[in-house]
Amino acid sequence: TWWPRAVRCRLSSAPRYMDRDSQRNVRQRVGDAAVSVAGPPAKNAKDDGKGIECGVCMESLSRDHTGIRCNNSHHLCDDCSINFKNSIMSEPQIDTFPVKCSFCACHVNGASFERFLDETERGTYLTYCTMSSLPDDEIMLTCPFCPFFETRVLAGGGSATAAQATFIFCKN
């Protein structure tokens, strides 16, 4: 049976959908700062009288646009945001989460990025955000039958097969 073995979460075993409780758990684990809605652009934003521009296509944007923005006030229009999201989510890697700005490598506002995700992508996004925030001595275990996951501390020596790393609460 698969119960006594711990499985490191990979893209193939990552949940394809997360229910609201799992999403709330991820948000608590990662921290609300990573998923909060951005406030008004910083004073160093490109605003020289003509407004904010998309950093890729130079389209003029309103101050309350719905595109992706980073914490250093780099902005993307909706079309460029979709392309950016697709490039990140097409082959997700743990080291690309939390998502970083392609201009300055600063963190992208999580809420502005999440707006462009569908339910399947949102589950993958939250899984990778959780995995990237784990310390080296912890692993994330996922149930292959439902969106349930747990984080476990590895036993001494980094053993993932220790009794501490088995599912104990999954009802599937």
pTM of the model: 0.61
Residue 5 domain flag: no
Distant-in-sequence, close-in-space partners of 146: CB < 8 Å, separation ≥ 6: 15, 170, 172
Q: What is the model's pLDDT at position 27?
A: 64
Beta bridge partners of 155: 159
Q: Tell me which residue range forms the domain holding 114.
A: 17-134
Proportion of the chain above pLDDT 90, given as a percent? 22
pLDDT of 77 higher than 70: yes
User: How many independent structural domains does the chain possess?
Assistant: 1
Residue 145 domain flag: no
Residue 159 domain flag: no
Residue 168 domain flag: no
Rounded to whole angstroms, the Cα distance separating 79 from 158 reads 44
Residue 10 domain flag: no
Rounded to whole angstroms, the Cα distance separating 153 from 36 reads 28
Residue 155 domain flag: no
Residue 72 domain flag: yes
Nearest in space to 14 (alpha carbons), one of 128, 99, 95? 128
Residue 77 domain flag: yes
pLDDT tens profile 99-150: 999 889 899 998 999 999 998 898 888 888 888 888 888 888 777 777 777 7
pLDDT tens profile 27-49: 666 655 444 433 344 444 444 55
